[in-house]
């Protein structure tokens, strides 16, 4: 059990026997009311989203999960395939409900795979990641309308906005939560 | 402090001055009452801060930082002060880092003798417009990403209308605890027998009503269910209390009552809230004298408590309360 006030984004909860990942957490203290926390959670089996308002003092059931450091190999129609870096065991994470993770998966990169009741159910994406830029147009001179950024395509297919000086083949660090450009990375 | 915040703090000073001018011009007496009190109005939803005071023999005496100046202002009213206002620091403990809370903040509180909550509503609207124009702020602002048209009159919704317009729920059908519990559960919230009516009400309100409140203009929500424990006057019939809150861009700015003066209602509020207060992180004695004074000597009146920092935050289009408080120390981690 965990006190609702201690729940953070990324906490795993168990609701009616289903595992949920907390994707948004907001504290709310209404005037003349108790302290509450508003949670937005994703069901890791079905992908459906649930919002819940709970008193910060209440206890809720957290899902007992393990994290396994695993190397991303490839994906097919149904699964993301990983290999546990310790045991070399193959892990299959069902893609259902995890479409938003695909753009952050780089072949050969190590991620934490979340295991619940012996089943791989989720992937933890690092807060910041480096990607190669595979498609970028050169800045158009005199283009002031779009401000000082332009869209580029990354090696995983993700499209993000970056400063105009970024070229095809550059490596950029991206904040994976906000999709904001952080910096250019030189090896 | 950088130059941007210095500009903000000059505006803050101008706002303080304009506020004083507004109330002085209308005959309100400015008062300043102590920060420390030996006993407080028990409010189970507020955590307070205790202070260690020692007398000249070294004997400790527990004192508490005021969470609001109400405890002193109502005494003055009862002594015949007439209309009064105060701009003071208030202290609240254990509040979450939301960007609209700070453990030490500035409250504007005023009481009008012989007035009701609708008189205060009119004055609130007038004050807001006066302040906005004094600071040379335009007719619209952006509050946390939402554009708000500040021109009066502000929008008004009763709590019952708010429930029906945002969530399609009939508030009066939820006065029964069981119906309210069903509604909260139906919205996906966990409900248990430990939930009070207040807890269930807020589970529904915060989940289905508050996020959908119209935010295009400042909004008064009026007539709260009497089952929420407050010191607002309960209307004949016992269903609603004469209370409003002002929201701007989804942020609560002010809370106002026609003040309750019924002896048995005040006594049961102090008793029940005092009971809940025993399990607070920082318990404090309930101010029993005040309960007696409010029933016996306080004139019919209306009081409003306004979060001055939040008001500035909204007027200046700032995202976080820390941006308008000099030397704010409480960081927003959420």
Domain count, chain B: 1
Contacts of B290 (CB under 8 A, 6+ apart): B39, B41, B71, B74, B75
Which residue among A75, A108, A124 closes a domain? A124
Whether residue B229 and residue A32 make contact (CB cut-off 8 A), yes or no, is yes
What burial letters (b/e) apply to B229-256, b meaning 16+ CB within 10 Å? Answer: bbbbbbeeeeebbbbbbbbbbbbbbbbb
User: In sequence order, what E strands does A136-170 have?
Assistant: 149-154, 159-163
Distance CA B99, CA B68 (A): 20
Q: Which of B302, B136, B124 is nearest to B218 (CA)?
A: B124
Pairwise CA distance, residues A123 & B251, whole Å: 35
Interface test with B, best of A22, A28, A177 (most B CBs within 10 A): A28
Q: What is the pLDDT of residues B24-77, one digit of tens each?
A: 999 999 999 999 999 999 999 999 999 999 999 999 999 999 999 999 999 999
Q: How many CA atoms lie within 13 A of A48 on its CB side?
A: 5
- Asked if the Cβ–Cβ distance from B198 to A34 is below 8 Å, we say yes
Q: Does the beta carbon of A33 lie under 8 angstroms from any beta carbon of chain B?
A: yes
Rounded distance, CA A126 to CA A72, Å? Answer: 13
Contact B43 A34 (CB under 8 A): no
**Are residue A72 and residue A116 in the same domain, yes or no?**
yes
Q: Domain containing A87: what range?
A: 65-124
Q: What are phi and psi of A60, to 5 degrees?
A: -130, 160
Q: What is the pLDDT of residues B204-231, one digit of tens each?
A: 999 999 999 999 999 999 999 999 999 9
Range of the domain at B314: 3-153+259-324
Are the beta carbons of A98 and A80 closer than 8 angstroms?
yes
HSE-up (13 A, CA, CB side) for residue B158: 12
pLDDT for the residue B70: 98
Tens digits of residue pLDDT in A174-186? 999 889 999 999 8
B221 in any annotated domain: no
User: Is B247 among the domain residues?
Assistant: no
By the 10 Å C-beta count (0-12 exposed, 13-18 middle, 19+ buried), B191 is classed as middle
- Check CB contact of A34 with chain B, cutoff 8 Å: yes
Q: A53-57, A136-140, B67-71, B244-248: which has the minimum mean pLDDT?
A: A136-140
Contact list, A6 vs chain B (CB under 8 Å):
none
Q: Global pTM?
A: 0.87
Q: What is the pLDDT of residue B256?
A: 98
Quote the pLDDT of residue B188: 87
Confidence of residue A52 (pLDDT cuts 50, 70, 90): very high
More confident position, B16 or A137: B16
pLDDT of res. A140: 64
Confidence at residue B30, expressed as pLDDT on a 0 to 100 scale: 98
Q: Average the pLDDT over B170-180 and give the result.
A: 97
Predicted confidence (pLDDT) at residue B132 exceeds the cutoff of 80: yes
Asked if B255 and A32 come within 8 Å (Cβ–Cβ), the reply is: yes
B206 touches chain A (CB under 8 A): yes
Does residue B101 sit within a domain? yes
Instruction: Domain count for chain A, please give it.
Output: 3
> Residue A148: its pLDDT value, please?
82
CATH at residue A37: 2.30.30.30
Kindly state whether residues A6 and A45 are assigned to the same domain. Answer: yes
Q: Determine the Cα–Cα distance for residues B127 and B30; give it in Å rounded to an integer.
A: 16
Residue of A nearest to B334 (CA): A26
B334 band by pLDDT with thresholds 50, 70 and 90: very low
pLDDT over 90, % of chain A: 78
Residues A53 and A25 in one domain: yes
Locate the chain B residue with the closest alpha carbon to A24.
B334
Q: Is A38 on the interface with B (CB under 8 A)?
A: yes
Question: How many angstroms separate the most distant Cα atoms in chain B?
Answer: 63
Note whether A73 and A93 are same-domain residues.
Answer: yes
Q: Indicate the residue of A5, A27, A51 with minimum beta-carbon distance to B207.
A: A51
B81 within a domain of the structure (yes/no)? yes
Task: Find the CATH number of the domain harbouring A105.
Answer: 2.40.50.140
CATH at B76: 3.30.930.10
What mean pLDDT is reported for chain A?
91
């Amino acid at each position: 059990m965990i006190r609702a006030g201690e729940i953070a984004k990324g906490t795993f909860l168990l609701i009616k026997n289903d595992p949920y990942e907390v994707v948004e957490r907001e504290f709310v203290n209404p005037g003349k009311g108790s302290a509450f926390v508003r949670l937005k959670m994703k069901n890791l089996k079905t992908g459906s989203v649930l919002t819940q308002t709970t008193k910060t003092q209440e206890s809720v059931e957290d899902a007992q999960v393990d994290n396994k450091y695993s190397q991303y190999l490839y994906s097919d129609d149904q699964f993301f395939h990983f290999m546990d870096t310790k045991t070399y065991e193959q892990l299959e994470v069902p893609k259902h409900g995890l479409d938003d993770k695909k753009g952050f998966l780089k072949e050969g990169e190590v991620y934490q795979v979340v295991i619940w009741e012996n089943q791989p159910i989720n992937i933890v994406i690092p807060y910041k990641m480096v990607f190669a830029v595979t498609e970028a147009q050169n800045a158009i001179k005199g283009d002031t309308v779009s401000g000082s950024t332009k869209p580029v395509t990354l090696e995983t297919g993700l499209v993000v906005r970056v400063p105009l000086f970024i070229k095809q083949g550059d490596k950029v660090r991206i904040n994976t939560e906000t999709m904001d450009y952080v910096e250019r990375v030189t090896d | 402090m950088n130059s941007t915040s210095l500009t903000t703090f000059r505006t803050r000073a101008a706002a303080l001055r304009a506020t004083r001018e507004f109330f002085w011009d209308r005959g309100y007496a400015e008062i300043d009452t102590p920060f420390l009190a030996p006993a407080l109005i028990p409010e189970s939803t507020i955590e307070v801060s205790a202070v260690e005071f020692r007398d000249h023999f070294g004997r400790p005496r527990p004192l508490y930082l005021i969470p609001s100046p109400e405890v002193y202002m109502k005494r003055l009213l009862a002594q015949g002060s007439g209309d009064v206002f105060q701009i003071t620091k208030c202290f609240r403990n254990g509040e979450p880092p939301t960007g609209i809370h700070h453990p030490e903040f500035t409250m504007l509180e005023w009481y009008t003798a012989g007035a009701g909550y609708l008189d205060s509503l009119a004055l609130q609207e007038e004050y807001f417009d006066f302040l906005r124009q004094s600071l040379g702020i335009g007719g619209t602002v952006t509050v946390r990403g939402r554009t708000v048209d500040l021109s009066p009159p502000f929008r008004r919704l009763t709590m019952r209308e708010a429930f029906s317009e945002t969530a399609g729920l009939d508030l009066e059908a939820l006065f029964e605890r069981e119906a309210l519990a069903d509604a909260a559960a139906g919205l996906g919230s966990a409900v248990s027998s430990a939930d009070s009516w207040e807890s269930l009400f807020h589970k529904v309100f915060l989940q289905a009503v508050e996020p959908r409140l119209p935010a295009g203009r400042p909004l008064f929500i009026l007539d709260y269910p009497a089952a929420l424990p407050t010191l607002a006057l309960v209307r004949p019939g016992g269903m609603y209390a004469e209370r409003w809150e002002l929201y701007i861009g989804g942020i609560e700015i002010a809370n106002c009552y026609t003040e309750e003066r019924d002896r048995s209602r005040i006594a049961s509020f102090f008793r029940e809230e005092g009971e809940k207060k025993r399990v607070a992180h920082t318990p404090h004695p309930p101010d029993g004298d005040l309960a007696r004074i409010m029933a016996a000597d306080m004139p019919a009146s209306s009081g409003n408590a306004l979060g001055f920092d939040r008001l500035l935050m909204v007027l200046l289009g700032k995202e976080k309360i820390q941006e308008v408080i000099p030397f704010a120390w409480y960081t927003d981690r959420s």
